[in-house]
Amino acid sequence: MASERNEVDLRGIILEQATKLFKLFGYNKLVMDDIARAIGKSRSTIYLYFKDKEDIFSAIVRREIDAYLHELANDLPNHTTAMEQLRAYLRIKFDFRYAKAAEFLIMNREGHPELLAKMRVYTDPPEVQYLSKIIQFGIKNGECKAMSEANVALLAKLLISAFNGIANDVLTDVESTEVSMIHVLLDRIFIQGLGQNLSNR
């Protein structure tokens, strides 16, 4: 039992130190020896837990995504209308994207599209489920027009794609991004625009 706990602890330590180093040096310059020195272990010890640098980075991304999805799961039920839930989703999602872009700024400058690609592999499926539930909730309570399940899923996917396209462009210059203004504009584009087109009233 103690051995298993130590293994879990060491894996977590590797991820914590690697996260700091990725933020500091970026993906290109960081090597396994840097991580080994940071944790005070040999490189061979790291290979007991991760097969390579990409594997470590993927684990970091998954951990960040899990925290984001946990926040969504806890926050969305607190809102009593579909539009309020959608507004909360947009705020949480953009704040997450902004925070990660700022934290991993050096990697953005290196031009690593795989960061976004890896994020979407993990975020898109659960986000489609969340947005589909929001739309279905809106249909049920009369906020949105009725539509088939297939169209609900399609709309959810389109919303995710549209949001990501906007966020990708906005966050190319994360240092000058005005977060509060982006929140306002996202509200106008998605909440007001979507509300007018989907309203059942």
Judgement on whether residues 27 and 77 belong to the same structural domain of the protein: no
CA distances from 92 to 69, 81, 89, 130, 164 (A): 9, 17, 5, 13, 13
CA distances from 38 to 17, 29, 46, 77 (A): 6, 15, 11, 41
The count of structural domains within the chain is: 2
**Range(s) of the domain holding residue 163:** 53-194
* pTM for the structure as a whole: 0.83
Please, which residues bridge with residue 144 across strands? 199
CA distances from 201 to 1, 31, 127 (A): 60, 58, 27
- Which CATH number characterizes residue 7's domain? 1.10.10.60
User: 120-174 pLDDT, tens per residue?
Assistant: 888 999 999 999 999 999 999 998 889 999 999 999 999 999 998 888 888 877 7
CA dist., res. 135 & res. 146, Å (int):
10
Judgement on whether residues 103 and 119 belong to the same structural domain of the protein: yes
Judgement on whether residues 46 and 109 belong to the same structural domain of the protein: no
